[in-house]
Amino acid sequence: MSYLRLKAFSLPRTLGILENYLFILPAVAIFSIFYVYPFYEIFNLSLHDWNGISLTRQFIGLGNFKELAQDKIWWSSIWHAGYITFIALTFQNALAFALALACDQDIRMRKFYRIVFYIPPVLSEVVVGLIWQWILYSGMQDGQHIGLLNYFLNWVGMPHLVHNWLSDPKTALTCVAIVHSWKGFGWGFIILLAGLQTIDRQLYEAARVDGANSWTMFRHVTIPMMIPVLLVVVILTILGSMQVFVLVLSMVGQGLVYHTEVPVTRILASMTGTNQFGYACAQGIVFGLLLMVISFIQIKISKNTKQA
């Protein structure tokens, strides 16, 4: 077939290739304008001092990056995102794994659980953040707590636990992290359950014949078989949690100066707040590189464990 084509007339062949290009033209055009150009522009702008409005941009080399290195609020915002990620990695993933293990057995209502656990992940962060902001609300009226959680704590006789959850810098970030985990665990659950279900049941049978109890089976069959899936979940949890910011905006808003800042809210603040577009781009690049380094290390680790 290709032999015949080679011998064929060259003009129709060239026209055919041009016609083939037309198929990818719309995709390449949209991609070039809305991805490739901004990709170039983010590097270009990061080397300039520009307020986003004036016609001239001042080239300042690596000035934005130097300033960023000393920006304490910026580094603390990465620390905050790291804290949220830590809670997501431990609490959210442990919960997801425990639920997946429970649903991997032959139990009733398995479908029901699967449907319900994936409800929080389909809701938007704005909706989730605002619902929880209302539940955690710390205002009072006529000596009564308005928010549900504080009202409940008072009602069950634990008024000492009543707290200004979202307006106290000490608890606000933890609240965001827990709500983030609430929104995310159903996703981890579905993926881990799918992974568990690919494990050959005969492996468990063989282990049982050899006299293994549930714990040794879990330790020596389930865990080794799940390592690839667990790594995918870990990488995606880190990438997702580090970039969280809509939850912060919808739960805390601008209320707590600098105590709940995460990198993306800092980028937004540089852009829309102080009009430092070049600085915002520099922040975006540094943060993007950080995320790439993290995923790179993860992939390295996963390759090493596969070889071992």
Q: How many CB atoms lie within 10 A of CB 24?
A: 10
Q: Which stretch binds another protein (CB under 8 A): 64-72, 84-92, 144-152, 162-170?
A: 144-152
Sign of CA dihedral 39, 41, 44, 46: negative
* Contact between 191 and another protein per CB under 8 A: yes
- From CA 271, how far away is CA 148, in angstroms rounded? 36
Estimate to the nearest angstrom the gap between the alpha carbon of 85 and the chain centroid. Answer: 8
Nearer to another protein by C-beta: 68 or 221? 68
Longest dimension (CA), the chain: 91
* Contact between 24 and another protein per CB under 8 A: yes
| Type of residue numbered 113 | Y
Nearer to another protein by C-beta: 8 or 170? 8
Could you identify the residue written with the tokens 């879990």?
A: 218
Let me know the angle formed at the C-alpha of 298 by 296 and 302, rounded to the nearest 5 degrees.
120
Helices 110-117 and 93-104: crossing angle in degrees, nearest 10, is: 160
Nearest to 114 by CA among 168, 186, 208: 186
What would the two tokens of residue 98 be?
């425990």
Nearer to another protein by C-beta: 221 or 244? 244
Candidates 239, 256, 275, 302; binder of another protein (CB under 8 A) is 239
**Closest distance between another protein and the C-beta of residue 273, in Å?**
13
For strands 140-141 and 144-145, give the pairing. antiparallel
- From CA 129, how far away is CA 135, in angstroms rounded? 10
* Contact between 271 and another protein per CB under 8 A: yes
**Closest distance between another protein and the C-beta of residue 70, in Å?**
19
| Site track for another protein across 31-70, x = CB under 8 A | x-xxxxxxx-xx--x------x------------------
Residues between 112 and 131 that touch another protein (CB under 8 A): 112-120, 122-128, 130-131
**Closest distance between another protein and the C-beta of residue 59, in Å?**
16
For strands 48-49 and 58-59, give the pairing. antiparallel
Nearer to another protein by C-beta: 82 or 170? 82
* Contact between 88 and another protein per CB under 8 A: no
Q: Which stretch binds another protein (CB under 8 A): 67-75, 138-146, 203-211, 300-308?
A: 138-146
- From CA 57, how far away is CA 186, in angstroms rounded? 46
* Contact between 281 and another protein per CB under 8 A: yes
Contact 49, 60 (CB under 8 A): yes
Candidates 30, 158, 161, 297; binder of another protein (CB under 8 A) is 30
Q: Which stretch binds another protein (CB under 8 A): 61-69, 199-207, 216-224, 276-284?
A: 276-284
Let me know how many helices (H) and strands (E) the chain has, helices first. Answer: 17, 4
* Contact between 264 and another protein per CB under 8 A: yes
- From CA 91, how far away is CA 96, in angstroms rounded? 9
Nearer to another protein by C-beta: 159 or 170? 159
* Contact between 107 and another protein per CB under 8 A: yes
* Contact between 100 and another protein per CB under 8 A: no
**Closest distance between another protein and the C-beta of residue 204, in Å?**
16
* Site size for another protein (CB under 8 A): 96
* Contact between 102 and another protein per CB under 8 A: yes
